[in-house]
Chain A
Amino acid sequence: MENEEIKEYTVLIYTENEIGLLSQISNVFTRRSLSIWSMSAGATAHEGVHNITIVTEGTERKVRQAAEQIEKRVDVIKVFFYTDDKIVYRELALYKISTERFLGCNDIEGLLSRYGARIVEMNRKFTVIQKTGYTEETQALYDELEPFGILQFIRSGRIAVSRAVQEPVFKFLEKREKARKQLNK
């Protein structure tokens, strides 16, 4: 019997750069009433290949089905999904606070170094602090900064790499390149 436990999964999707794919991919989730907790997209080092990383929650069966339906889209190259222990992941948070009140803090440096955070911009009106980490960590810093009055707070979607030494998508692409050459012979 398959595991019906509901878990958090990170879905790594590699696609050709095609317009409209993002909405097709999110449709696959909504049709199966899977929530998308976070989503981030960007180019990979491989030319023309894009990555979309989605965090969702569901049973393994449901998430696998969604992954297979996504991989079935013609312009999707490969889809992988992982539980948290199979990946290294981070998210990025930006905090905007009043410079004047921030400077009133006794131990700015101690606070920032404790959280591994850094200042990315400071002017007379406001200061922007950047932190990477897990949601709980960015949240903890938020709680510490809150007394200074947070003017704006933004958290990115998760990005992740698998704990496998090599990303299997590139192996697949090499295989396809060979198939293409075979065809052109």
Chain B
Amino acid sequence: MEEKITGSDALWRSLIEEGVDTVFGYPGGQIMPVYDRHCDYADKIRHILVRHEQGAIHAAQGYARIKGRPGVVLVTSGPGATNVVTGVADAMTDSTPIVVISGQVPSGALGTDAFQEADVIGLTAPITKWNYQIRRPEEVGWAIARAFYIARTGRPGPVVLDFTKDAQVGLTDFRYEPCQFIRSYVPDPSPSEQMVEKAAHMLDEAERPFCVFGQGVTISGAEKELAEFLSKGDIPAGSTLLGLSALPSGFPLYRGMIGMHGNVAPNILTNECDVLIAVGMRFDDRVTGTVSTYARQAKVIHIDIDKSELGKIITPEVALRGDAREVLARLTRKMQPRKRSEWTRAHLRCESVEKEKVIDPEVHPGSGFLKMGEVVDRVAEATGGKAVIVTDVGQNQMMAARYSRFARSRSFLSSGGLGTMGFGLPAAIGAKVADPGREVCLFVGDGGIQMTLQEFGTIMQDGIGVKMILLNNNWLGNVRQWQELFFKERYSQTRMLNPDYGMIASAYGIPSRIVKDRSELDGALREMLSTDRPFLLDVHVEEEGMVMPMIPPGKGIHEIMLTENEWFS
């Protein structure tokens, strides 16, 4: 007979069995027994103490997306749990494997409006892949095994385990069995040979095939398979925001980012191709613009592991439900090698227009205020495209996405689907913890940084060497841009009076530098990148900078604004 252990011990041992090495969290009353037991497991599992639970989950998201393994969050009941809700929703939309463990009042007190009781299961049900309330210590191993299996398999996503206090302190036998099978859950679908052949045939017959890919490529580890597929068929491709870095920026058939602020060429090619093959992406409205004019001329092949995405927005000619890596490999084998020299040059005109009208003025303005794109470009230069680029949400995000360069996969981290301001700083912390050997550069605006500024404390306490590049324009820039373009320049509540960020950083012992002039930028970047320590670079950029090109809301992807008063034609 084995010795009995507490539910809290069972939790830590289960996490160790799952290979967890890091937990992001914040203690509180109803999770104290679990925290108490951590003292005995601290040599195996590192706990990063954040300054707000929202920081814990965004950090875990950053960790998960760099590692490709579930990020783990530990918080208390009630407000501890409700503070992670935004991150849970974010992880759900962006398919990020997360396991949240929240404390809960003792099971006898459930439903009595006890102190710090919240209906966490009810609150998180629509925004989790699975959730479960652990009310008995015997359930801990089973629930953790199931949680990790569900979070990481199929289309990954967040799982919440609500852990009552009596289950934390109660005694149980313990033997860990990883979960490998759930009857009602099929995470590894595979399309029939017939469907793969049909898709291959469509591609063989196509004169102007175009590929759009998303994060599914990264999640399934299909980077090599994607490159081989594109090369064999001579098929040009564009990436979604979250697909960025799955192909190296210099890949010959890579045409840039699609969508609202994407590059001109891949948007135009989408509406000119005869076969559109979509890989691991979900036709978000920021990608499609008006759906009724999106790729109407094209036959669509859609590869996705999530059945509910197939036909949700765009009805495909061929739907291939499966893992991107496996399906791409099979498709490449079936497909004939082709050269399409005319079609693979079709983007050149778009590219030269975009370069002249948008990119050059943004990246090489020569004089005047510093531009956001210019800063991103200099960072890409200084890091050789090898850094992990993390963004917040807004103009900083779009500029970072447009002007960063990527040499390897899993180099771009951003809140795509939910668009959560305040994501960037903690996500960068998580990314650096996941891979301390890589440079992690955060682009953040003066709005977003103040939503999670308290995480400077986490950086200080754990000595996390993230490089924070603040694109400071004294505005909520993206909303300001929309107000200028679509709300008759009525700037409602977007002007921001900013604090002295250098003083804040120095209060936390974080070195910083203000850059106001172009001539100081490269030197400041060298200083920032010269050590492993955290650094804040407060770059004062042009106040009224705009992200262009832009497909305005309600327009099709062929209707592209190049400047405030010029459209692509």
| Partner-B contacts on A (CB < 8 A) | 2, 15-16, 20, 23-24, 27, 31, 64-65, 68-69, 71-72, 74-77, 173, 176-177, 179-180, 183
Contact = CB atoms under 8 A, between A and B. Distances in A.
B109 interface: no
Nearest to B121: A20
Contacts of B186: 176
Contacts of A31: 126
Given A27-B125, A27-B126, A183 B307 contact: no
A72 B126 contact: no
Nearest to A77: B184
A23 B312 CA distance: 23
Q: Which 3 A-B pairs have the closest CB atoms?
A: A68-B308, A77-B184, A74-B130
B158 to A, nearest CB: 12
B183 A77 contact: yes
Nearest to B188: A179
Contact of B184 (A23, A27, A68, A76): A76
A15 B121 contact: no
Nearest to B130: A74
B307 A24 contact: no
Given A23-B125, A27-B125, A74-B150, A179 B308 contact: no
Nearest to A67: B308
Contacts of B126: 24, 27, 31
A179 B122 contact: no
B367 interface: no
Given A31-B126, A71-B307, A183 B183 contact: no
Q: Which of A64, A65, A68, A180 has the most CB of B within 10 A?
A: A68
Given A68-B307, A68-B308, A2 B315 contact: yes
B181 A179 contact: yes
Interface string B522-540: 0000000000000000000
Given A20-B121, A24-B125, A183-B180, A74 B315 contact: no
Nearest to B315: A2
Nearest to A16: B184
A51 to B, nearest CB: 13
A69 B127 CA distance: 12
A173 B183 contact: yes
Contacts of B315: 2
Given A20-B125, A23-B125, A76-B184, 19 more contacts: A2-B315, A20-B122, A23-B122, A31-B126, A65-B312, A68-B307, A68-B308, A71-B307, A72-B307, A74-B129, A74-B182, A74-B184, A74-B185, A75-B130, A75-B184, A77-B183, A176-B183, A176-B184, A180-B183
Contacts of A176: 183-184, 186
B312 A72 contact: no
Interface string B8-35: 0000000000000000000000000000
Interface of A is mostly: helix
B397 to A, nearest CB: 27
Nearest to B149: A74
Nearest to B185: A74
A137 to B, nearest CB: 36
B90 interface: no
A177 B181 CA distance: 10
A16 B183 contact: yes
B377 interface: no
A168 to B, nearest CB: 14
22 contacts: A20-B121, A20-B122, A20-B125, A23-B122, A23-B125, A27-B126, A68-B312, A69-B308, A71-B307, A71-B308, A72-B306, A72-B307, A72-B308, A74-B182, A74-B184, A74-B185, A75-B184, A77-B184, A176-B184, A179-B181, A180-B183, A183-B181
Contacts of A183: 180-181
Interface in B163-207: 180-186
Contacts of A177: 183
A59 to B, nearest CB: 13
A34 to B, nearest CB: 15
A35 B150 CA distance: 30
A74 B183 CA distance: 9
A180 B311 CA distance: 30
A76 B182 CA distance: 11
A180 B184 contact: no
Contacts of A69: 308
Contacts of B184: 15-16, 74-77, 176
A2 to B, nearest CB: 7
Nearest to A177: B183
A179 B184 CA distance: 12
Contacts of B180: 183
Nearest to B308: A68
A144 B130 CA distance: 49
A76 to B, nearest CB: 6
A77 B184 CA distance: 4
Interface in B406-446: none
A16 B150 CA distance: 16
Contacts of A180: 181, 183
B348 to A, nearest CB: 36
B159 to A, nearest CB: 9
B322 to A, nearest CB: 16
A55 B181 CA distance: 32
A172 B183 CA distance: 10
A13 B563 CA distance: 52
A65 B308 CA distance: 7
A47 to B, nearest CB: 12
B533 to A, nearest CB: 43
Q: Which of A65, A72, A74 has the most CB of B within 10 A?
A: A74
A124 B130 CA distance: 53
Nearest to A31: B126
A69 B182 CA distance: 18
A183 B177 CA distance: 14
Interface string B307-318: 110011001000
B70 to A, nearest CB: 15
Nearest to A68: B308
Interface string B123-162: 0011001100000000000000000001000000000000
Contacts of B306: 72
Nearest to A75: B184
A173 B183 CA distance: 7
Contacts of B121: 20
B180 to A, nearest CB: 6
B327 to A, nearest CB: 19
B129 to A, nearest CB: 7
B293 to A, nearest CB: 15
Contacts of B308: 65, 68-69, 71-72
A173 B122 CA distance: 29
A161 to B, nearest CB: 21
Q: Which of A27, A31, A72, A180 has the most CB of B within 10 A?
A: A72
